[in-house]
Structure 1
Amino acid sequence: MSAGRPSPIGATFDGEGVNFAVFSEHAERVELCLFDHDGWIEIARIPLMERDGDVWHIYISGLTPGTTYGYRVHGPYDPENGHRFNPNKLLLDPYAKRIIGEVAWNDAVMGYSIGAKTADLSFDRRDSAAYVPRSVVVDPSFEWGKDAPPEISSSETLIYEAHVKGMTAEFPGLRRAQRGRFLGMSSEPVLEHLNKLGVTTVQLLPVHAFLDDKFLVDANLSNYWGYQSIGFFAPEPRYMDQAGIWEFQAMVRRFHAAGIEVILDVVYNHSGEGNHLGPTLCFRGLDNKSYYRLEGDGRYYINDTGTGNTLNVRHPMVLRMIMDSLRYWVEVMHVDGFRFDLATVLGREEEGFNRNGGFLDALGQDPVLSRVKLIAEPWDLGPGGYQLGNWPHPFLEYNDKFRDGIRKFWRGDDGLTGKLGRCLTGSADTFDHSGRAATSSINFITCHDGMTLRDVVSYSRKNNHANGENNRDGTDANWSDNMGVEGPTDDPEINAARAQRQRNLIATGFLSQGTPMLLAGDEIGNTQMGNNNTFGQDNPLGWVNWADADDELLAFVRKLACLRREHKVLRQTRFLHSRPRSADGKPDVFWRLPDGAAPTREEWEDPKTKTIGVELRTSSTTPYYAASDDVIFLVFNNGADQDVVLPPCVPHKTWERILNTAAPDEGPYCVMGDTVPVQAHSVSVFTLTAIT
């Protein structure tokens, strides 16, 4: 043993031994615990005698990857002043690159005595080692070969949100060892499916090591979604067949070889340790007052996340941990970007949300992280938590107003045509500022949190009884419609109407300016039986049901994705504002009522206006060298059958309908004359084609 060094933080193997470094500002003593080959019998407890600032460290030669370890930290147990040190509790290394074992919900995992009159002010002396996970030393080197990030431009991006287990548990053609695993997620059958869909970017629900909440275990459920992170550097063990981080790396390499990016949904706003009555597993026992935001003197936690605690991103060492974690996943694991859960937490300073705050400034200047895709879920439960549109370049943002507005329009709500128009042009009223691109809006109709696409057209109310909370959990604001019967039905007319509305919803998402996102399974009509909160349903209810795939819907989505790829005018980075173009003096966007006239302000807001057409060209601000002569005319009709006047044609060209959601199998055909019949409750796409 020798002094070692304070950097890098974590357990680092150098070929001859391991350097251990861990942060704790308020600790009085830190002990490194080493375990036997199986990882369960403690064989050594070594005090870290060196302290450089607030980083404790030691070097031990002869240790190799596979060494299992943890920490015990001594210091004041004074919850009323924010300190919860308890050396009887074995702690994970916050920088652990691999974690083994699960939390067994024994009372010993608590730093206080369960049942004591003083609750968390009491002190528990039982050893928790038999009931908590372990940290493992790894060698993260991997043979990447010629792997390179696909670097998909924002205008070409099609995001596919998927859950590793939910995507692969029942996917046809996979071996048993691949199901629910990283290697199954990147298997040839899955890659073939994604490539045929035109997916450029897979966004994975949390894969950082997480725990199963006690209330879920007691209900015979589990933390399916994974939003209870306990290790920000370690892949979740349940997604690895052979418990090696190389499995995650191999998955990324396979995705890249198929031309697909990998984005991680990351949860740096809180940890899985819960509120003041939660377990002591890692951060709480290492330095509660540094890692968490506390109320007043410190006994209780600020809960801007709704999970019991909030990480203290304003602390420089907590910020460093998050930045180190992000860089690790880019540099060592080769991921291509991140979606930040409840991201407003990360941008909240003393005065409130600040788009120039510490974390966001750190991201913006970082030479590694500033070049990857960054996506914000732009809200949390704290004060001033809703920040849609306020994130700095180059962030993309989940646009819940798009989701709600499009659902309401196709449900038939009155007065939504103006909202539809704003959505179709990239929600410029929200995002067109500070040099942001028209791709800043993530246009989604559904995501993991809520109903699936099929359920949006099949249920008027949530059906969350399987969650065991008397249907109280999950939002009631679904803006859904059962179209006559709640849930499944054999009525052919209702099923046909549901199928068409699904096509309308997904077409609107793909035909709008912005960045489209597709929820895994929506392309095949997957249902969760109306459950809009399957966070604990690691079972067929939460998984994608590939056996009952709607092949007709799948074919339509593939066709739609191909159409979007072939027409740049549908995926521009410059906003459209009906301004004349220098090339021909024509406006870049022109709105039309069915009679061909431009709508007045009153007609935009009139509840009777159910049909709108929009003629799209290259933005007036697009440089001449990037301009295109492509023209698209879209018609959104949520009213009855009617004739629509087409825009004037240029000489020697005519309008060709290339997509009709009312007749999805219909091939392209040229329109003869100045008008075209448009079916009720449908979307049509027209392009100009040369007359032959």
Structure 2
Amino acid sequence: MIADPLHDLGLTEGPDGPVLRVWAGAASGVDLVIDDAPTERVVPMTRDANGVWSGSDPRLQPGRRYWLRADGEPVSPENVTTPFDPTVDLLDPYARGLGRTGRGAWRGVVVDESFEWGGVEKPGTPLDHTVVYEAHVRGFTRLSPHVPEDLRGTYAGLAHENTIAYLKELGITAVQLLPVHQHVDEERLVAQGFENYWGYNTLSYFAPHAAYASRDAQLAGPSAILREFKGMVRLLHAAGIEVWLDVVFNHTAEEGEDGPVIGLRGLDNSYYRHDPQGCPST
């Protein structure tokens, strides 16, 4: 079997400690920056033949904030529209946890991914026996009198015993959740005083949306938010209910050509589909 050169992207545990791997095929340099308050530690990353950059540092432990910076010159129409800027702080596209600075900037946060699944596996219900309930995590239990008030509108509320009993009574075998990835409101909506309730403006595809976690989990940080999400999945699976996720890849929180540079676009514009002239293509 041929090894996938793009495997193990994001933060993993290597033989000598934590390793971060990110693809930035056209970059000439990528730095891993670690919050080492009151300063920052800059770790130059090394590139392999497939355009994957790697960096390691023992400081990459749960709770630590980190980000990336990329440098280079556009080398093809696909990334002419967004030149590299080594002064811009970028998100790791595979970050499992996110946090914000005092100035509101997003940062990756190292999380503790350990979790005891207790032998619970996904039910694997045959499609011809599947009954799907599409749900919004916040909206489904936000006003439910059958869920404790502090859990309403949360991952834990969706997995509460009364919620599961209701789903089972309906004969549901799978819940299809509207976007649960960390998302933000579009800039134009913010300017108009609105918000994106549905979540179709993804900031990070691998970090659970923090606002859907219980207050206690939010206060405890990204690791606790991830545990609450996994706990929801475990309880639903144990009840014979599959968890399906609604994922939309045709746009992100970086929005259109003139949108903010948050992560993907700053690492390599080829993360997005373009026509031969470098214009966005669907």
TM bucket normalised to smaller? 0.7 to 0.9
Counterpart contact for 1:180–1:239, Cα < 8 Å: yes
Residue 140, structure 1, aligned to residue 78, structure 2: no
Tell me what 2:245 maps to: 264
Which amino acid in structure 1 is aligned with residue 252 of structure 2?
A: S
Tell me what 1:56 maps to: 53
Deviations 1:443-498 (A, max 9, x none): xxxxxxxxxxxxxxxxxxxxxxxxxxxxxxxxxxxxxxxxxxxxxxxxxxxxxxxx
Deviations 1:552-585 (A, max 9, x none): xxxxxxxxxxxxxxxxxxxxxxxxxxxxxxxxxx
Rounded to whole Å, the distance in 1 between the matches of 2:7 and 2:175 is 33
SS at the partner of 2:8?
coil
Counterpart contact for 1:77–1:86, Cα < 8 Å: no
Counterpart contact for 1:71–1:91, Cα < 8 Å: yes
Which amino acid in structure 1 is aligned with residue 239 of structure 2?
A: A
SS at the partner of 2:40?
strand
1:295 to 271, 275, 281: 275
Residues 238 and 24 of structure 1: CA distance in aligned 2, closer, same or farther (over 3 Å): same
Residue 25, structure 1, aligned to residue 11, structure 2: no
Deviations 1:302-325 (A, max 9, x none): 2x3xxxxxxxxxxxxxxxxxxxxx
1:189 to 131, 140, 162: 162
Question: After the TM superposition, which residues 51-450 of structure 1 pair with which residues of structure 2 at under 5 Å, given as runs?
Answer: 51-53=47-49, 54-76=51-73, 81-101=80-100, 130-241=103-214, 242=217, 243=222, 244=224, 245-288=226-269, 290-298=270-278, 300-302=279-281, 304=282
Residues 177 and 14 of structure 1: CA distance in aligned 2, closer, same or farther (over 3 Å): farther
Counterpart contact for 2:10–2:22, Cα < 8 Å: yes
Which amino acid in structure 2 is aligned with residue 32 of structure 1?
A: L
Which amino acid in structure 2 is aligned with residue 278 of structure 1?
A: G
Higher relative contact order (CA 8 A, sep 6+): 2
Tell me what 1:607 maps to: none
Counterpart contact for 1:11–1:21, Cα < 8 Å: yes
Rounded to whole Å, the distance in 1 between the matches of 2:34 and 2:164 is 41
Report the CA distance between 1:16 and its aligned residue.
6.7
Report the CA distance between 1:14 and its aligned residue.
5.2
Report the CA distance between 1:34 and its aligned residue.
0.9
Which amino acid in structure 2 is aligned with residue 212 of structure 1?
A: D
TM-score (norm 1): 0.37
Rounded to whole Å, the distance in 2 between the matches of 1:161 and 1:209 is 19
Report the CA distance between 1:180 and its aligned residue.
2.0
Which amino acid in structure 1 is aligned with residue 24 of structure 2?
A: S
Which amino acid in structure 1 is aligned with residue 57 of structure 2?
A: I
Counterpart contact for 2:186–2:255, Cα < 8 Å: no
Which amino acid in structure 2 is aligned with residue 94 of structure 1?
A: P
Report the CA distance between 1:42 and its aligned residue.
5.3
SS at the partner of 2:163?
helix
Counterpart contact for 1:159–1:199, Cα < 8 Å: yes
Counterpart contact for 1:204–1:265, Cα < 8 Å: yes
Report the CA distance between 1:36 and its aligned residue.
4.4
Which amino acid in structure 1 is aligned with residue 166 of structure 2?
A: H
TM-score (norm 2): 0.87
Deviations 1:8-29 (A, max 9, x none): 2111135973101111111111
Counterpart contact for 1:13–1:64, Cα < 8 Å: no
Counterpart contact for 2:155–2:228, Cα < 8 Å: yes
Which amino acid in structure 2 is aligned with residue 254 of structure 1?
A: L
Structure 1: tracts of 5 or more residues without a match? 103-128, 305-692
Report the CA distance between 1:89 and its aligned residue.
1.5
Question: After the TM superposition, which residues 475-486 of structure 1 pair with which residues of structure 2 at under 5 Å, given as runs?
Answer: none
Structure 2: tracts of 5 or more residues without a match? none
Rounded to whole Å, the distance in 1 between the matches of 2:154 and 2:180 is 11
Which amino acid in structure 1 is aligned with residue 208 of structure 2?
A: P
SS at the partner of 1:61?
coil
Total equivalences in the alignment: 267
Residues 214 and 168 of structure 1: CA distance in aligned 2, closer, same or farther (over 3 Å): same
Report the CA distance between 1:77 and its aligned residue.
6.3
Over aligned residues, Cα RMSD in angstroms?
2.4
Rounded to whole Å, the distance in 2 between the matches of 1:18 and 1:77 is 30
Counterpart contact for 1:228–1:272, Cα < 8 Å: yes
Counterpart contact for 2:81–2:257, Cα < 8 Å: no
Question: After the TM superposition, which residues 566-581 of structure 1 pair with which residues of structure 2 at under 5 Å, given as runs?
Answer: none
